[in-house]
Amino acid sequence: MRRELFVRSSCFVTWIMKTSVSEIFWGVLVVAIRDIIPPPQRECFNDVYIAYELMDTDLHQIIRSNQALSEEHCQYFLYQILRGLKYIHSANVLHRDLKPSNLLLNANCDLKICDFGLARVTSESDFMTEYVVTRWYRPPELLLNSSDYTAAIDVWSVGCIFMELMDRKPLFPGRDHVHQLRLLMELIGTPSEAELEFLNENAKRYIRQLPLYRRESFTEKFPNVHPLAIDLVEKMLTFDPRQRITGEF
């Protein structure tokens, strides 16, 4: 019996996505592929091993550490994230899992985006699964089961990451799906009817039956964060993805 190279076609698609996306942005904006290690014999082809360039740490480890971070550090990290995101989106690719542990760093503070296992080319089809993005960095449209989403999902994730970088703790550390949505609405407030237009009727009904939340002042909640940084984060964390700032600059 002929041995299947991959048990499920999705495994092959994931592998191709990881390798091809990294090839597109090779070594400059995302972690570079150094080698792909083949099996010793074709009959034993069950796994693929990809060797990436070595980076020293990731943003999650830096945030959790006692290392002091200046405003210049935070600005430089954000600049590199947005620069990488601009080029990723320019190729019609959504990362769909941006989080601190997927942002690698070296001793020179060079930042590279990694883990394209959930990445997707936006032109493949109109339907996309909503079960993407780690919960704490998931935007409202995904929490409300929208499959018609755009590159704005990555921008929301960057807003959460940037605020976590400056405040040194997660912005929306939800315990589950429902708690996650409540946390973000407690901060950005209950959306208006106009902001609900992009949602399906079931999602609209769900939002309408929730308690009303008044928008918190970011400036008062985060008094140690620079006003310009607050302004940018507020533009990234809009409930309606159509109003969210883009990665263009």
Instruction: List the Cα angle 51/95/229 in 5-degree steps.
Output: 115
Residue labelled with tokens 């883990």: 115
3-state class (DSSP) for residue 85: helix
Per-residue pLDDT band for 11 (boundaries 50, 70, 90) equals very low
Does 240 participate in catalysis according to the annotation?
Answer: no
Average pLDDT, the chain: 84
Among candidate residues 97, 115, 148, 231, the one labeled active-site is 97
Structural domains for the chain: 55-243 (1.10.510.10)
The answer to whether the CB of 180 falls within 8 A of the CB of 172 is yes
pLDDT tens column, 204-239: 999 999 999 999 999 999 999 999 999 999 999 999
pLDDT tens column, 67-88: 999 999 999 999 999 998 988 8
pLDDT tens column, 173-190: 999 999 999 999 999 999
Q: What is the pTM of this model?
A: 0.83
